[in-house]
Amino acid sequence: MNPSNSEFIILASASPRRKEMLEQLGLAFRCITPSVSEETRPRETPKAYVRRIANDKARAVLHSLRDDPADHLIIAGDTTVTLEGAILGKPATEQDATDMLLQLSGKTHQVITGVCLLLHRNRNLEAKRLFAVSTDVIFKTLTRSEVDAYVRTGDPMDKAGAYGIQSGAAHMIREIHGSYTNVVGLPMAELLEEMQALPGCRALGIRSLPESKNPNGLPAPQRAFG
C-alpha cells in the first residue's frame, strides 16, 4: 500500500487546525469525524483524559471502517488546557470564555494533547501508539477590555481553554516552553517520530521533505512518509 494514497492515512478529526498542519507536511489523507463522549471521569488526570479521548476517537473511526478491506493509518488527537490540575474545556458560552481567560491571566498553564495512532493492515490491528505531550504556556496579565474584545470575535468558542495561539490570542501569550504545534492541536515532531516507529510502516518508506517554513514561521519537520 502506497501511503501517499489519500485512502491510507485518515485524520480522525474535524479540526481545521490539525488538517492544516498535516497538509503542510505534504501528507495525503482524508478526514473522518468521530462521534465520542468527551466527558471527564472522576479523579481522571488531564493526561489520562486526553489519551483516553484520542483512543476513543481512533477506535470509533476504525469501527466505522470495519467493512473496508483497505489498509489504514488512523491519526486521532485531543487537546485540553489545564490550570493547576483543573481541565478547561471548550467554553459553552461567552461568559464561560471570559471566565476562563481571566483565570489564565498572568499565570502558567499546560496544554496537553493526547494522540492515538492505529495501523490497520490486512483487516487486523497491526500496531498502536498512544501518547501525550504537554507544553507550558505563560499568559501576560490581561485587562478586562482585552478579554472582552477577544471574546467578541468569536475565536475562543471552539477552542479548549477559550483561546487560539495561532489566531486572535497570540498577543496574550508571553512565553511557551515546549512544542508550539502541540498548543495548536497536534505535536508534529512527536507525531512523525511515532509514525516512523510503527513496525508496519517502516517497509512503506520514508522520504525527506524539502526545507521550508510554515505560515507561522516555524521550520517544517524534515521527514515524513512518501
- Is residue 12's pLDDT more than 90? yes
Total domain count for the chain? 1
Domain presence at residue 148: no
Distance (Å, whole) CA 129 – CA 55? 9
Domain presence at residue 171: no
Residues 80, 185 contacting (CB under 8 angstroms): no
- Positive or negative, the CA dihedral 23, 26, 32, 36 is negative
pLDDT in tens, 141-191: 999 999 999 999 999 999 999 999 998 899 999 999 999 999 999 999 999
Catalytic site positions: 78
Domain presence at residue 52: yes
Alpha carbon 96 to its chain centroid, in Å, reads 22
* Per-residue model confidence (pLDDT) at position 24: 86
- CATH number, domain with residue 86: 3.90.950.10
Which three three-digit cell numbers place residue 12? 480522525
* Per-residue model confidence (pLDDT) at position 40: 92
- Positive or negative, the CA dihedral 90, 141, 182, 7 is positive
* Per-residue model confidence (pLDDT) at position 26: 80
Domain presence at residue 86: yes
Domain presence at residue 189: yes
Domain that holds residue 52: 9-90+111-136+181-225
